[in-house]
Amino acid sequence: MNEVTIHFLRDDNIKAPILIEGLPGVGQVGKLTAEYIMEKLGAEKIAEIHSLHFPPQVIVDENGVTHLVNNEIYRYENGDTTLLFLVGDFQSTSPAGHYVLTEAYLDIAEELGVERIYTLGGYGVGHLVDENRIFAAVNMEHLRPEVEEAGGSFQTAEMGGMIVGASGLLLGLGAERNIEGICLMGETSGYIVDPRSAESLLAVLTRLLGIEIDPALLRQRAEDMEQIIAKIREAEESKAAEELTYIG
Amino acid sequence: MNEVTIHFLRDDNIKAPILIEGLPGVGQVGKLTAEYIMEKLGAEKIAEIHSLHFPPQVIVDENGVTHLVNNEIYRYENGDTTLLFLVGDFQSTSPAGHYVLTEAYLDIAEELGVERIYTLGGYGVGHLVDENRIFAAVNMEHLRPEVEEAGGSFQTAEMGGMIVGASGLLLGLGAERNIEGICLMGETSGYIVDPRSAESLLAVLTRLLGIEIDPALLRQRAEDMEQIIAKIREAEESKAAEELTYIG
Amino acid sequence: MNEVTIHFLRDDNIKAPILIEGLPGVGQVGKLTAEYIMEKLGAEKIAEIHSLHFPPQVIVDENGVTHLVNNEIYRYENGDTTLLFLVGDFQSTSPAGHYVLTEAYLDIAEELGVERIYTLGGYGVGHLVDENRIFAAVNMEHLRPEVEEAGGSFQTAEMGGMIVGASGLLLGLGAERNIEGICLMGETSGYIVDPRSAESLLAVLTRLLGIEIDPALLRQRAEDMEQIIAKIREAEESKAAEELTYIG
Amino acid sequence: MNEVTIHFLRDDNIKAPILIEGLPGVGQVGKLTAEYIMEKLGAEKIAEIHSLHFPPQVIVDENGVTHLVNNEIYRYENGDTTLLFLVGDFQSTSPAGHYVLTEAYLDIAEELGVERIYTLGGYGVGHLVDENRIFAAVNMEHLRPEVEEAGGSFQTAEMGGMIVGASGLLLGLGAERNIEGICLMGETSGYIVDPRSAESLLAVLTRLLGIEIDPALLRQRAEDMEQIIAKIREAEESKAAEELTYIG
């Protein structure tokens, strides 16, 4: 059995210079952002990636049909702009598997003509955040000015950090293949799924891509979420107050 | 050393279109059901599967003879009906091993002419269950109507679930080989070995197979078990009552 | 790098029909017994086995010289009797590694003409034991009478047990190569290194081998150990008594 | 994907008989010592080693540029003296990976003409240490006298110890290739990064190498560290005193 299997759903020769990775991670910030763009642009699935490095399980969809756990490649194409997306619900179950999977992603990227990869993630700070900064890292120094211009901050990088999993390795192993890599991480508490941070990330990424995506629905999700959180807090506080009364 | 070794105990060319998997899992519901059918029909062992993905140990039988931990293929054959069974006491010790083992099972299935696989399991709900529903999932959408007609419910699937281990991967990896797959999971508390849930599972499965199996002995085991549990409860309650008296 | 490397220290063609395994395990009963026989007979080392399945470390000897963690083959030869011993301080660090290592041991055994393997171990019962029974298991049923005659008990086996690690797999994988296998397990508490249990094991094993080994030194070690334990107990009791006085 | 990849940064034929390993370990004693010598001598990087046995992450440097987790080879060359250094921030994530990586290090060593390897580490004793002894082990007995003459102690070795990871395996697997190996371990509490122990280690190592390195900056770091620890203790004591007053 191969460690990684790639199924292409269509056979064409469209070259795509840009790949955007949004696999699961802190606050699901990268995943939310990538999937939001895909949805707004109407990207279509072009490949499925199976691997024994994913968890040994199938997902049952709303029709009761099973699907192997996988990662997927989507493509959006419209005249000048061709974008690829790498998304999915899982990363590797083992440390070494992350390397094997990332090399497979890069094989696909090379085959499809990718020259630059954006990897999207969250940067957990452990407390609620009012304004979500977007921290950035690059795999070649010449990429830094354009990222800063688009609103990416290199403050974290100056502290000397780590980027774990596919978001990091796509930059590290991508550099070995001369593929440019830019990692954008939305500041987030790390406690909840964070569409507010995804909205900030979307702004920086779309500036870099030179495209426009209406963030209204993402903002709506953030507001919905904040209302739910506010209600939970209220309920907790009134309960705490009641208990105080009771004790008193 | 090969990762998986298969020993065929007999050399014939009988084709079997149906494979029933009943490996260990939640409430041992799948294992109980598969082994009950095998026993009632008088299936015979035709192959043993050894693997370094099983635990590194041997089982000592009642004669003091050791046997490598393995999974086994049994066959029942009677005119029109030929059924294969995949049973055993263990699944893989590692996530990747589940994939390797399932591919080996599918190699055997293909070699023996299998066109459809039933995987049997339990679905733990965390509380005692009065009537054990049978939840189902399929690996091709056209299979759904006949499963529903036989009494399988797709309610869980509609919630979007996961099926872990061989029961799931046989469907997921089987679809890649065009083998139909139906997973049937007996609702169970998940706390005990559950012959009552196995009896419900047996009813749905035999309807799908178009065969009849007398569930009397399985029902007897369920009743015996329920009596034991009732006695334990009684003992605990009377002990609790005694302690209350003592404290009072 | 090979998963297992075998270094033969001498090049000869002496065939040895018997291999005795005494790797670490419960109560070190097997290791104590095998090493005691080796010492009494004056066996000499003929091979070293290195493997990446052993822990990644070296042992520093009393001269400050490092040695790769390994397992070793010793040989005793004297006219009619030729015995091989498999000993060492470690077993595999992973479940799959146990299989890989055992296959390597069996390759050596076949090369050296081994027809029967004795695997030695302890059987932990969780409480102190007055008389250490020797439980046995065999990999071919015809071996059972001679083991019973020599004093081995098949009581545990009748309960249906497991034998984990090399002691079990040498029987299980050995049977596949038509090598006879007998596992002897000294009953032991499982809490301490147990030379008393090793003495009982020695008695059964030497009867099976048809050789005589004076157990005096092993008995001495058992008595020394029992005196130490008695002193520790005494100290604890007098300390407990003191504390009671103090509290009072 | 290869398990280990080596990138040479320059292509020359300079032979270097000595390799000094200073990978992370107890008290970072080996790493501090190796990096201090490299800095004082002005060694230059000649190779990078990547591997799927390292953690799956990249490091972000002070410019926001990512780098694959790696180990590195540095070289210092000056007339008579040519020294290689093996340094980095990580060791293997799995037991077997330590073996694979060490064999790769030895492949490089052989290619570069290495005849002797010094491995540097710390020896944790679990309490603060006034004078840091340097414990030693060798992979060939004839190396012992010169190590003792240089101030290395074989006391620990006489107790029969273990050396875990690259520091141990370079000696164990190096001996198989006839490469001399000397392990020097600075006694340290094991609780803190310990430049004081590194200073003692530096003294013994430079005597063995026949070179002189001014330890002033290392001593300064040790003194700075000791002042910080003293201040923390003072603060804790005065806080404890305050609390006593408050309680009183």
> What pLDDT does residue D129 have?
85
Is the Cβ pair C65, D141 closer than 8 Å? yes
> What pLDDT does residue B199 have?
96
DSSP-assigned states of every residue in chain A: --SEEEEES--------EEEE--S-GGGHHHHHHHHHHHHHT-EEEEEEEETTS-SEEEE-TTSBEEE--EEEEEEEETTEEEEEEEES---SSHHHHHHHHHHHHHHHHHTT--EEEEEEEEE-SS--SS--EEEEESSGGGHHHHHHTT-B-HHHHH--EEESHHHHHHHHHHHTT-EEEEEEEEE-SSS--HHHHHHHHHHHHHHHT-----HHHHHHHHHHHHHHHHHHHHHHHHHHHHHHHH-
Predicted-complex ipTM score: 0.90
Q: Which residues pair with A74 in a beta bridge?
A: A45, A85
Tokens of B189: 């508390």
Is the Cβ pair C137, B66 closer than 8 Å? yes
> What pLDDT does residue D248 have?
45
Q: How confident is the model at residue D39 (pLDDT cuts 50, 70, 90)?
A: very high
The list of chain C residues with pLDDT below 50 reads 248
Q: How confident is the model at residue D219 (pLDDT cuts 50, 70, 90)?
A: very high
User: What does the mean pLDDT of chain B come to?
Assistant: 92
Alpha carbon C135 to its chain's center? 14
Could you tell me the end-to-end alpha-carbon distance of chain C, in angstroms, rounded to an integer?
A: 67
Strand ordering across the sheet containing B57-60: B66-68, B57-60, C162-164
Least confident of B20-24, B238-242, D149-153: B238-242
Which residue in C61, C65, C66 is closest to D168 by CB distance? C66
Chain C residues 93-152 with a CB less than 8 Å from chain D: 93-94, 97
Q: Which residue of A has its CA nearest to D96?
A: A96
Note the CATH number of domain A4-214.
3.40.50.10900
> What pLDDT does residue D130 have?
84
Q: Which residue of A has its CA nearest to B158?
A: A62
Above 60 in pLDDT, residue D214?
Answer: yes
Tens digits of residue pLDDT in B177-236: 999 999 999 999 988 899 999 999 999 999 999 999 999 999 999 999 889 888 888 888
Is the CB of B163 inside 8 Å of chain A's CB atoms?
Answer: yes
User: Which residue ranges make up each domain of chain C?
Assistant: 4-214, 215-248
Chains B and D touch (3+ CB pairs under 8 A): no
Is the Cβ pair A183, D66 closer than 8 Å? yes
> What pLDDT does residue C248 have?
46
Chain B residues 58-97 with a CB less than 8 Å from chain C: 58-69, 93-94, 97
> What pLDDT does residue A199 have?
96
Is the Cβ pair C64, D158 closer than 8 Å? yes
At D122, the amino acid letter reads G
Tell which residue, B82, B84, B102, has the closest CA to residue B92.
B102
Chains D and C touch (3+ CB pairs under 8 A): yes
> What pLDDT does residue A28 have?
94
Which residue in A141, A144, A169 is closest to D58 by CB distance? A169
Stretch A102-113: mean pLDDT = 96
Could you tell me the end-to-end alpha-carbon distance of chain B, in angstroms, rounded to an integer?
A: 67
Is the CB of B2 inside 8 Å of chain C's CB atoms?
Answer: no
Stretch A69-81: mean pLDDT = 93
Neighbours of chain A (3+ CB pairs under 8 A): B, D
> What pLDDT does residue A31 have?
97
Q: How confident is the model at residue A159 (pLDDT cuts 50, 70, 90)?
A: low
> What pLDDT does residue B248 have?
45
Which residue in A53, A57, A97 is closest to B162 by CB distance? A57
Stretch B69-88: mean pLDDT = 94
Least confident of A2-6, C190-194, D82-86: C190-194
Is the CB of A159 inside 8 Å of chain B's CB atoms?
Answer: no
Q: Which residue of B has its CA nearest to A96?
A: B96
